[in-house]
Structures are given as C-alpha cells and as structure tokens.
A and B are shown apart, each in its own frame.
Chain A
Amino acid sequence: MKEIWTITRRELQAYFDSLMAYILLILFLGFSGFFTWIYGSDIFFVKQANLQVFFSIAYWTLFFFIPALTMRLLSEENRSGTIELLLTKPISEWQVIVAKFLAALLLIVAALALTTPYYITVSSLGNIDNGAVFSGYLALILVSGMYIAIGLFTSSITNNQIVAYLLALSIGIFFQIIFQMLSSNLTGIAGGVTDYLSINSHFESMTRGVIDSRDLIYFLSVIVLGLVFSESMLMKKRSV
C-alpha cells in the first residue's frame, strides 16, 4: 500500500509540474461553469434546485478530458524505458497500475470538489435533494474511474500519447454513444445487452438519486477489467 501511495504521489506531482493539472482544473471548471450557468439551458432557465444540468455537462467534459489525463501514464514509461526501472524495484505490475489509476482519479475528485460553489448556489435557490446530489457526484466519480481505466489500458498498448488518447476516445464513444444508439434499434437480448453496456442509463438513474447495485457493478466491472488488461499488457512485455 505504501508503495502504491509513493507512485501515486509522484504521478500527482508530475501532473502539477507539467501544468497538466492546472490546465485540466481550469478547463473543467470553465467549461462546466459556462454551460451550467451562462449558456443555453442553464440552471436559472430551468429554475430547478438540482444539479442535473451540471452533471450532464460534466459527464461530457470528462469524456473528452480524461483520455488527455491518462494518455501519458504508461505510454511515456514504455517509450522512455523508465518502466524497466520501475518494475525492477520491489513492486508489482498491479501496484503500478493501481497507483496510476488513483493519481488520475484523485485529480478528478479534486476537480469535482472545486465545484461545491455550484452546489451551494443551487441549494440557495430552493429545496435541493441532497441524496440526488450525492449519488450524482458518485456517478461522476464512477464514470471517471471507468474512463481512467480505459485510458490507462490504451496507454499501455502504445508508446505514442496521441494514439493512446484517440484509442481511449474511440473505446469511450462506444460506452458514451454507440451502445445507446444500438440499443434503441435492437430488440430482445441484443437490445438488453447493449442497453446495459451503455453508460447512459446507469448514469442517469444515479443522477436522479437512485443507487442501484446493478449500476455499481457495471462501473466497477469496467474499471476492474481495464486495470486487469493494463496489468497484463505490462506483464506481456516481460515475456515477449
């Protein structure tokens, strides 16, 4: 556990040293703030004391931002050869993967924590459903975890950051859009499966305040799968 935290800390430090963290925080707050408060169907227009608008804006913003956060994590280690140094220290592949996952997740959690002024403002507009706020934020964290796991995996299969970004985005599009489109065109089992695979239904019900174990299992399994695949990519390099 101590080793994981050591690597996580180094990754977080690297995020801040490379200004990546600041860029992400500013862009994330800027985008979500702009669309939530100023543009189009903003909260004042909707005149409801909830964070639905913010949640769906954040949902899309994270979809594009997270691959940028994860693209470097393993591709750069593989490209520069530092992965060899890391893995010849007394730590396992799994620890490396989990540590990097946590670093990106913590940064997202920090970005989300900085949106508490949104919550405070909205709650002053009327009676807010705190349960829905909590489960909405939880949903955002789970979606982030899912995209981080996917991004970590694509970062493990290439030495090129841009390729890692685009691959992560391509895989993400399936969960974000394609499965949903398919499910509305398909019937029977195929329709059910694609509907379950699509993030939308899981995410939306959580932002409305419903925490179902089926949704949690969905997010956690994609996360675990992404991490396990990334781990096996690291292991594979050792027995070429």
Chain B
Amino acid sequence: MDIVIENMTKTYGRQKAVDNISLQVKTGEILGFLGPNGAGKTTTMKAITSFLIPDSGKIFIGNISVNDNPQEAKKNIGYLPENNPLYEDMPVIDYLQFCARIEGIAKDKINDKVREVIQTCGISREKHKKISELSKGYKQRVGLAQALIHDPEVLILDEPTTGLDPNQIIEIRELIKKIGKEKTVILSSHILAEVEATCDRIVIIKKGKIVADGTVEELRSQAQGNETLKVTIEDGGLDEIFKALQLLNTVELVDFVDKSTQTFQVKSKPGQSSRRDVFNLCVEKGWTLTQLTFIETRLEDIFYELTLDN
C-alpha cells in the first residue's frame, strides 16, 4: 500500500510547521524522514495517522483518503508515536490484547496474534510484567508490538530509537528492517546514521519543506560534484605554489587550508581529475609533494549543509 501526501500544509497559530509538502512512499519501501528538531516530522506523521487535521492538502493510504475516511485508513496503519506513550500500569500481555480487540481482530485469533507479535518483538520474557517495570528498550518493543498487532500494511514510526542505548538501538533497527520487508514504512529521525542504517530512501525536511529526496547513493553523488583534493607541497614559496596550482588546466579553484604547513584545497573542474597535473607540477618545479588526499563529502556534511540555518 502506497502512502501519498499531496500539498500538505499545517500551521500552528502563525507558524507553518509543514509547508506544502508532497511525498510518495511505495509499497515495500522504508523511507527515512530526516530533519533537525522542529522540522515538521512529527506533524507530518500525525497528519498521516489522522490524529492531526492539516489545513490543506490530501493524504492517501492506498486508495483511501485519510481526510474523508479516517476510520478505514487507520485500519491499515500501525503507529508508534514520538515518546512512545503506553498504558504504563497494564501488564504487557493485557495491553496487547486490548489493542488487538480495538483493532477488531476476531476473538479466536486474538491470542495467536498477541503471541505472534510478542515473539517478533522479543518480549516473551517480559510479557507478564507491568509496562512501567520495563526498561526503555523493552517499552519501545511493546510500542512496536502494538503497532504491529493487526499486521498493518503501513508503519509510521516517529523517532523509534530516541533515548535508547547503543545496543538497544541496533536491536530495534534490526527489528524494523525485518518487519519492514513487506510493509510501507516511514521512520523519522534527526540522526543521519539512523536512517542511513535502516532506510532505502531518505527525505530530508527542513522548516516544513522537503530539501532533498533520494537513496543514500543518490544524495551522496548529488552533493559530491567536483573532485576535491587536499595537497601539501614543501620546498617552494607559498604564493608561487598557489599561483602555479591555479594555472593548471584541470583546476577550478585553489584555497589555503593551512599556510604554515603549506596545505591547499584544490577543487578540480567538473568531471576531471587534477591529481596527475599536481604531481607533474611538483616534479617539474622540484617541489616536494608530501600529501595528496581526497576530501570526501560525507553524508553528514550534506545533511548539515541542507539543514543549516541561513
């Protein structure tokens, strides 16, 4: 089941939390919804689950309009809200049975369904405990279990690993990947590594607007652009070296990185490499090339740049 958002806008008072976004998530896709705090991720997810009514725009779950037929749309959605609210004083198993009944699962199937999600989410040993007695990681699993109880085709997970310790994070990620194989999943996070590890596709949102959309590789190559080198050259005058580098045919731009060590940043022309020219220049002039390395644009930098306040 696809999720389709068309021109959705949501304003709180005078502040636009989500600004005319359109988005489509295909069946089987795990979409990472990435953005800094306050970007509008939670607002978007609440609108998808019909908890918030947007000011304008349309949202579809498969062919079902969330606006026109929320009850029907909700049947196909499993939702883990931000901060994972739960009925803390209920035992895990009672809570899951309650959720199963509310989802309208047939009476004779309820126990099987509950057993199934308890197994999937790895909470067999805690199933008789009160939810308030569980660790944060296990609470998160209960949150996932309730989202999965009716085997929904669409999963909406709002910051599912916030506040967990590194081991718990890895476990929950694995769990989401496993579950996500046959479902349409949107997972939000403000941590790049999070979505990089779990998601097929990343959408970056900033101040309510989508600023990037693509697979990890696409985003990386988009931002990569020209080859950039870090070059240290000794046994020559600083200015002389600078000028000579700039005159090379394959070089577009030269910049100082560190004048004391005579280190430069050399940006090549689009689609070209200046590595050979730099080396030959040094040989010709009798300079000593002590460093020649790539500067890779890391995904973090892209994220940082895209979401930077300007």
Q: Which residues of A contact B (CB under 8 A)?
A: 2-3, 6-7, 10, 13-14, 17-18, 80-82, 84-92, 238-240
> Top 9 nearest A-B pairs by Cβ distance?
A81-B85, A6-B101, A88-B49, A239-B53, A90-B74, A82-B85, A89-B102, A90-B75, A88-B79
The answer, yes or no, to whether B99 is at the interface (CB within 8 Å) is yes
A88→B77 contact, CB < 8 A: yes
Whether A88 touches B103, Cβ cut-off 8 Å, given contacts A17-B89, A81-B81, A82-B87, is: no
Question: Can you report 23 residue pairs joining A to B where beta carbons are below 8 Å apart?
Answer: A3-B102, A6-B102, A10-B87, A13-B94, A14-B87, A17-B89, A18-B89, A81-B83, A81-B85, A82-B86, A84-B51, A84-B85, A85-B85, A85-B146, A86-B102, A88-B79, A88-B81, A89-B99, A90-B103, A90-B104, A91-B71, A239-B52, A240-B12
A88→B50 contact, CB < 8 A: yes
| A7 surroundings in chain B (CB, below 8 A) | 102
A87→B103 contact, CB < 8 A: no
Whether A80 touches B104, Cβ cut-off 8 Å, given contacts A10-B98, A239-B52, is: no
Give Cα A14 to B94, complex, Å: 11
Looking across the interface, which residue of chain B has its beta carbon closest to that of A87? B51
Q: Which residues of B contact A (CB under 8 A)?
A: 12, 46, 49-53, 71-72, 74-75, 77, 79, 81, 83, 85-90, 94, 98-99, 101-104, 146
Give Cα A85 to B156, complex, Å: 12
Q: How far is the CB of B264 from chain A (nearest CB, A)?
A: 54
Give Cα A88 to B51, complex, Å: 6
| B49 surroundings in chain A (CB, below 8 A) | 88
Give Cα A84 to B53, complex, Å: 13
| A89 surroundings in chain B (CB, below 8 A) | 74, 99, 102-103
B52→A238 contact, CB < 8 A: yes
B71→A92 contact, CB < 8 A: yes
